[in-house]
Structure 1
Amino acid sequence: MTGDGRPMPRYIRHAAAFCALLLLALLVNATRLQIVQVRSYDENPANRRQTIARYGQPRGDILVGGSPVTGSRDSGENLRYERTYRYGPLYAPVTGFASQTYGTTLLENAEDDLLSGTDPMLSPLPLWNDLTRARNPGGNVVTTLDAIAQQAAYDGLGDRRGAVAAVEPSTGRILALVSTPSYDPQELSGTDKAVAKAWARLNGAADRPMLNRAVRQTYPPGSTFKVVTAAAALDAGVVEDLDAPLKAPDPYRLPGSSARLTNSVDDCAGASLRYAFAWSCNTVFAKLGVDVGLADMARTASGFGFDEPGPRIPFPVSTSTFGSGLDQAQLALSSIGQFDTRATPLQMAMIAAAVANGGSVRAPHLVERTTTAAGTPVSTTGPRAESRAMNPSTARLLRELMTDAVRKGTGRKVAVPGAEVGGKSGTAQHGIGNAGTPYAWFISWARARDAVEPAVAVAVVVEDAAADRGEISGGGDAAPIARAVMKAVLD
């Protein structure tokens, strides 16, 4: 109605309704843009505001033993705060890098939302940040690492190429994760020309310092894989007595082949499993793998983690492989950790941990908990998944074999006074016609004499291209490093 009581003209009513409709559409569209589609606009590469905001405040820290190994520096530039690293090369295989130019890797990548302050769990209320457009201070990541064990592993490797992984058998907590040669992630922080030069230099280096050999590189495990073969033989009942002579000749002709496998030690013909394990008789374990059969060997290897998707710790670990479709000659070689058998150092540490933990494998993890900047808990890593790699009785026998190998076999250099230590050495051939310099391996576990269960399991691999081929051995090159790491944890 108009002011004088007459009906409002139709065209005015239509115009009013149309204006109301336009206003409603405007409100709906504003809601869609600001709430529903806000993330897609924030993540659009053309939108620099998000990037500027991301580096407009200090990043949260990664902690080892309660102390931060990362920090932030105010550069005064447009992307204001640059990442800094304490002991950068020591922890690079864990932290990775956070670079304004090249992005993030490893823990910096896996925990990026929390560290950068965008994780919704850091907000006081659900959707609070989406409504207020605010950004919380970056949270902190508390790792499982043992700082002294990490340093011992790094010092032990020195200037050689190689890697060390150490875990707590009963929980899967990763205590050390080292890869050498390493690099300083701080070189990649910032946007100036020096960052681009560092990137080109690191990526072009022949020794590949940015390769995380502990979790991303797989190697032939050599004789350390004999732990898996022994477990398969004991579980399958192919071996029932550790001291009974086994019908393995020396040399051993690979089935269906004219090739003959030999040993580097004497008295392997007809040796018992105890002697063959302590002195690493290739012929005995190659024949055992054939006697167990491909199905049972593959099943046991899978129980330890081979041919399964690599674990996330929380960044991904490369898959370790045993293989399928092998003929008997290939199976014999795979059973001594050669042919196509490949493993990461972390996988081999899990094998030692399974023996120490009564046959069970705990999924490894690197993050203990996450917190806000003020220290309020955000998340805590609960009990990890557990799988059965072998029967408990088999694990008990393998612990006996591994302690014998340390007391009177190839692992004597890994002995720690006042502790029970089990180990297995390995020297893995590789390259065309095995022409490459062998890799030296050692896997082990240790329990303090007054402790109920083992405290640490370790795997060490050394790829020393400069060494004399005949002087390389797992018991000589890798065992002292494993000993130093175990001693650091036990002390």
Structure 2
Amino acid sequence: MNKELKRISIVVLAMFVALFVSTTLIQVITADSLRADGRNSRTLYASYSAERGPILVDGQPIAVSVPTDDEYKFQRTYPNALLYAPVTGYFTLNQGNTGIEGALNDYLSGTSNSQFLDTINAILTGQNPKGASVELTIDPVVQQAAWDAMGDLQGAVIAINPKTGEILAMVSKPTFDPNTLAVHDTDAVIAQYEALLDDPAGPLFNRTLAGALNPPGSTFKLVVASAALESGQFQPASEFPNPAQLTLPQSDNVITNSGGDVCGGTATVSIATALSLSCNIPFAELGQALGPQVIREQATKFGFNESIDVPLESTASVYPRALDEPQTMLSAFGQSSVRASPLQMAMVSMAIANGGSLMKPNLVENIMTSDLRVLQQFEAEQFSQAISAETAAAISQMMVQSVANGAASNARIDGVDVAGKTGTAENGEGDPYTLWFTGFAPANDPQVAVAVVIENGGGQGQSGSGNEIAAPIAKRVLEAVLFG
């Protein structure tokens, strides 16, 4: 009898241990992933029945929940929806969440671990549970300026404070209206979502940091020039041959400078002059001298080959491995298989502007409960020491000359030293160019770094240029920060 009781006791104990372990796994270890699972209808209904916290810009809501008479109790609405859609993303019944709505869903819905006691207190006191508010770093004046400057062009603009990493503007076009995805009609949401997915212009992609990335063109020369100076083998005055055309080794591919002539009209040209005038051939020669590994290591210090959360997830910009000699030469002026986002090229300018110290980009200022208790206060954080202060100063001066007397002249601002670099990237035979600008201002005390990408040649096929189309957009964004 004692043996049987002992066996039963062991079985009961084993069952208790199994129950304890499984409960712990569910409630502690897998709780967050289960809450985030789109199939969890209980969580979905709960997230609608609670008043979702607002997303704020300068204290004004750009996403807010309003009461309804249906079973969901609240509906998400987006004032000024088109302007902020890439930032807010959308909150839907059955198509997931994107943007800040997705990245900070647990805080906005009030289900984060740090809000557990608040939720219990609300239940016990008979109050309606509320999610936390999220205040963004976006400056509404700068955001509007970037939106207006882009007009009907396809592409993106991002502006960041290089000293702190605070994102001041994030505009992507074409865009979409998240209100159409927030309705409580499942069929209507699915139909709208599929229509947006089928749109060849890709309005759901936030082009500032994700989607199909573009070759950065001559803006990548900033990375290569930085690699050259950091190597200790080259100085800004180091000279390279400057022919009108060059046949790549192991290839019959002939490269030229913009316009097809000798860049600057001299037989040789310095790194400093080649950067300010945006000469392709000298940079191809510089890339050949450096080799792909040196360039890749420098690109990585600027953030290439890494997905960076702001907290929106970004697509990693790419400087590939195992490039052969002709591919390396092409990569040195942002062609071959190099790809970059505006976020990435803004980060290059940020590091140069900030004495070589690259701050981590950040879109969120704080997260606060409905009773004004701060859950998270975001602080400036260094991403990397991308280059030395000496290299940063030298590259900055080259960029100032590019705007003052070189290939980026359309970014000039009266009374302000603007540092900038344009790019006009090829996408294949007959395909429209991708047009770029990245830079910062004022050069002696940078307040803002900016990157602009314009796709489809800005409507001009292969006849437009970064200086003609992207630089004036950047100028208006810089002016919005400097002059309000």
Which of 268, 275, 283 is 1:277 aligned to? 275
1:211 & 1:120 partners in 2: Cα distance?
A: 30
- Tell me the equivalent position of 1:190: 183
Deviation at residue 315 of structure 1 after TM alignment: 2.1
Closer/same/farther in 2, CA of residues 238 and 259 from structure 1, 3 Å limit: farther
Closer/same/farther in 2, CA of residues 78 and 150 from structure 1, 3 Å limit: same
Closer/same/farther in 2, CA of residues 63 and 125 from structure 1, 3 Å limit: closer
Q: Which runs of 5+ in 2 are unaligned?
A: 2-11
- Tell me the equivalent position of 1:392: 389
Q: Which runs of 5+ in 1 are unaligned?
A: 1-9, 11-22
SS of equivalent to 1:457 = strand
Which of 432, 435, 439 is 1:440 aligned to? 435
1:458 & 1:171 partners in 2: Cα distance?
A: 14
Which of 375, 380, 384 is 1:378 aligned to? 375
- Write the deviation string for residues 269-320 of structure 1: whole angstroms up to 9, x where unpaired: 412223211221110101001111222111111111112x211111211111
Closer/same/farther in 2, CA of residues 317 and 267 from structure 1, 3 Å limit: same
Closer/same/farther in 2, CA of residues 391 and 73 from structure 1, 3 Å limit: same
- Tell me the equivalent position of 1:262: 256
Which of 350, 355, 362 is 1:353 aligned to? 350
SS of equivalent to 1:459 = strand
- Tell me the equivalent position of 1:100: 93
1:116 & 1:199 partners in 2: Cα distance?
A: 22
SS of equivalent to 2:145 = helix
Query: Is 1:286 the equivalent of 2:278?
Result: no
Closer/same/farther in 2, CA of residues 49 and 317 from structure 1, 3 Å limit: closer
- Tell me the equivalent position of 1:485: 477
- Tell me the equivalent position of 2:6: none
TM-score (norm 2): 0.88
Deviation at residue 73 of structure 1 after TM alignment: 2.4
- Report if the CA contact (8 A) 2:154-2:458 is conserved: no
1:466 & 1:289 partners in 2: Cα distance?
A: 29
| One-letter amino acid matched to 2:373 | T
SS of equivalent to 1:99 = coil
Query: Is 1:213 the equivalent of 2:207?
Result: yes
Query: Is 1:231 the equivalent of 2:223?
Result: no
Deviation at residue 264 of structure 1 after TM alignment: 2.1
Q: Which segment is superposed worse, 419-428 or 228-237? A: 228-237
SS of equivalent to 2:435 = strand
2:123 & 2:242 partners in 1: Cα distance?
A: 70
Question: 1:52-91 alignment to 2 at 5 Å?
Answer: 52-91=45-84
2:236 & 2:333 partners in 1: Cα distance?
A: 20
| One-letter amino acid matched to 1:257 | S
- Report if the CA contact (8 A) 1:248-1:287 is conserved: no
Deviation at residue 438 of structure 1 after TM alignment: 0.2
- Report if the CA contact (8 A) 2:55-2:135 is conserved: yes
Query: Is 1:297 the equivalent of 2:290?
Result: no
- Report if the CA contact (8 A) 2:166-2:362 is conserved: yes
SS of equivalent to 2:240 = coil
Which of 465, 469, 476 is 2:461 aligned to? 469
- Report if the CA contact (8 A) 1:442-1:478 is conserved: yes
1:368 & 1:331 partners in 2: Cα distance?
A: 40
2:381 & 2:215 partners in 1: Cα distance?
A: 28
- Report if the CA contact (8 A) 1:35-1:131 is conserved: no
- Report if the CA contact (8 A) 1:101-1:191 is conserved: no
- Tell me the equivalent position of 1:424: 421
Query: Is 1:321 the equivalent of 2:318?
Result: yes
- Report if the CA contact (8 A) 2:240-2:282 is conserved: yes
| One-letter amino acid matched to 1:252 | L
1:420 & 1:272 partners in 2: Cα distance?
A: 22
Closer/same/farther in 2, CA of residues 239 and 250 from structure 1, 3 Å limit: farther
SS of equivalent to 1:69 = strand
Deviation at residue 31 of structure 1 after TM alignment: 9.1
- Report if the CA contact (8 A) 2:351-2:357 is conserved: yes
Which of 199, 217, 221 is 1:222 aligned to? 217
SS of equivalent to 2:284 = helix
2:40 & 2:347 partners in 1: Cα distance?
A: 44
Aligned-residue identity in percent: 37
- Write the deviation string for residues 379-431 of structure 1: whole angstroms up to 9, x where unpaired: 11123133122221111111110000100112111112232210001000013
SS of equivalent to 1:361 = strand
| One-letter amino acid matched to 2:220 | F
Query: Is 1:122 the equivalent of 2:115?
Result: yes
- Tell me the equivalent position of 1:20: none
- Write the deviation string for residues 247-272 of structure 1: whole angstroms up to 9, x where unpaired: 34331221222222111244424122
Closer/same/farther in 2, CA of residues 31 and 281 from structure 1, 3 Å limit: closer
Query: Which is greater in Rg?
Result: 1
- Report if the CA contact (8 A) 2:218-2:278 is conserved: yes
Deviation at residue 49 of structure 1 after TM alignment: 4.3
| One-letter amino acid matched to 2:355 | G
- Tell me the equivalent position of 2:5: none
Closer/same/farther in 2, CA of residues 185 and 239 from structure 1, 3 Å limit: same
- Report if the CA contact (8 A) 2:448-2:481 is conserved: yes
Closer/same/farther in 2, CA of residues 443 and 465 from structure 1, 3 Å limit: closer
| One-letter amino acid matched to 1:442 | F
- Report if the CA contact (8 A) 1:238-1:291 is conserved: no
- Tell me the equivalent position of 1:311: 308
- Report if the CA contact (8 A) 1:166-1:459 is conserved: yes
SS of equivalent to 1:70 = strand
| One-letter amino acid matched to 1:456 | V
Query: Is 1:112 the equivalent of 2:109?
Result: no
Deviation at residue 130 of structure 1 after TM alignment: 10
- Write the deviation string for residues 321-368 of structure 1: whole angstroms up to 9, x where unpaired: 111111110000011100000001100000111110111211111111
Closer/same/farther in 2, CA of residues 225 and 50 from structure 1, 3 Å limit: closer
Closer/same/farther in 2, CA of residues 392 and 57 from structure 1, 3 Å limit: same
Deviation at residue 156 of structure 1 after TM alignment: 1.4
